Structure 1
Amino acid sequence: MTPDLRPAVDADIAAIARIYADAVTNGTASFETEPPTLAEMARRRMALVADGYPYLVAERDGAVCGYAYAGPYRARAAYRSTVEDSVYVAEAARGLGIGRALLAALIAACEAIDARVMVAVITDPGSEASVALHAGLGFAHAGVLENVGHKHGRWLGTVLMQRRLGPGPDAAPSRT
């Protein structure tokens, strides 16, 4: 069953926060070590949306089961056309194609705002499914940063992947 995808709204924050809290507490997809409050999650979403970035949710049977957003890859002006993606799926909904649907929609939404490159920063080891998801949607391996985070009693690295969006570097960006 294909999930329903739509822009996130304020009413989704509790579900988004639950999904993220599980990732923070029990996983390594995020390098945060304490789940943010509902107010902080709402603030983060509003900041991205206010800056024109997409923030999406996936629903199955009327319940939010995943979310994805893009934000600036880095703050400096020269990076303005490069975005970083984040995709989180509730544990019970993993393996159902929800992450793929969210990431595909996020790619399209970022092309619509004239982003030219999407970067994925994926935990290594332990996120082989995320690497496969990104590779399946056209991301290429761009490098590895070893032992850059320490969580759950072990050192973790990150795999960097990237994907060209729209015309990529073949034309100057319009995003300011």
Structure 2
Amino acid sequence: MNTTTITIRTATPADAPALLAIYAPYITDTAVSFEYDVPSVEEFADRIRGTLKKYPYLVAEVNGQIVGYCYVGILHGRQAYDWSVETSIYINQNCKRMGIGRKLHDALEQALSAMGILNLYACIAFPIGKDPYLTEDSVHFHEYLGYTHTAHFHKCGYKFNRWYDIVWMEKTIGEHKEKQPEVKAFSEIEETLNL
């Protein structure tokens, strides 16, 4: 595929089948996702709807074909965490290392910055030694994006009859102020973005 024609847009629930087709192999064939069962298309569409109530959910297309997506969710339910989010990004496994992830994340970061989000967090599965289901690629990708390591939890995920660590990585994208403006919903700033 020619990555010069990567376009980014907001996801819709109608994208659920295409996005689920990207996500399902991460569940069934890897330890990247700690989910055990592939959700239904309806459940996945509900996840998209739920995210878009407040946050961005973006898809990348190459020549009109969806090849990746990203979104964020709350870091924690308490109001004091409103300026922080947990990021997720998934790329079609046949389209990696083509610049799609970087372009998606740049658009996500632009949207979150416009909303007033300050801290991005990524919770990443991490292999214990050489592993057939998981590499350190996601950690290296986030390092490339400017994230730094903040925590390493040991043997806290169990999948494929083996234990996995997780690492938390963090990126600050805004200024922390004494009188911090409230975070806006994605719908309030979506029209101002160059997606």
Q: TM-score range by the shorter chain?
A: over 0.9
- Which of residues 112, 115, 118 in structure 1 aligns to 2:114? 112
Q: How does 1:66-145 map to 2 (within 5 A)?
A: 66-125=68-127, 126-145=134-153
**Cα shift at 1:84:** 0.5
**Structure 2 unaligned blocks of 5 or more:** 128-133, 185-195
* Distance (whole Å) between structure 2 residues aligned to residue 173 and residue 146 of structure 1: 37
Poorly superposed stretches of 4+, deviation over 6 Å = none
1:150 deviates by 0.3
Q: 1:70 to 1:127 in 2, by over 3 A?
A: farther
Q: Deviations over 1:99-143 (max 9, x none)?
A: 111112111111111111000001102342211211112111101
Give CA deviations for 1:10-50 in whole Å, capped at 9, x if unaligned: 22111101111111111111110001111111111101101
Partner of 1:63: 65
Contact 1:58–1:98 (CA<8 Å) still a contact in 2?
yes
How many angstroms apart in 2 are the aligned matches of 1:106 and 1:28?
A: 24
Q: What is the CA–CA distance in structure 1 between the aligned matches of 2:80 and 2:135, rounded to whole Å?
A: 30
Residue in structure 1 matched with residue 36 of structure 2 by the alignment: 33
2:166 pairs with one of 138, 158, 162: 158
Larger radius of gyration: 2
Name which structure has the greater RCO, CA cutoff 8 Å, separation 6+: 2
TM-score if structure 1 supplies the norm length? 0.94
Cα root mean square deviation, aligned: 1.3
Q: Secondary structure at the match of 1:18?
A: helix
Alpha-carbon contact 2:13-2:46 (below 8 Å) kept: no
Q: How many residues align?
A: 174
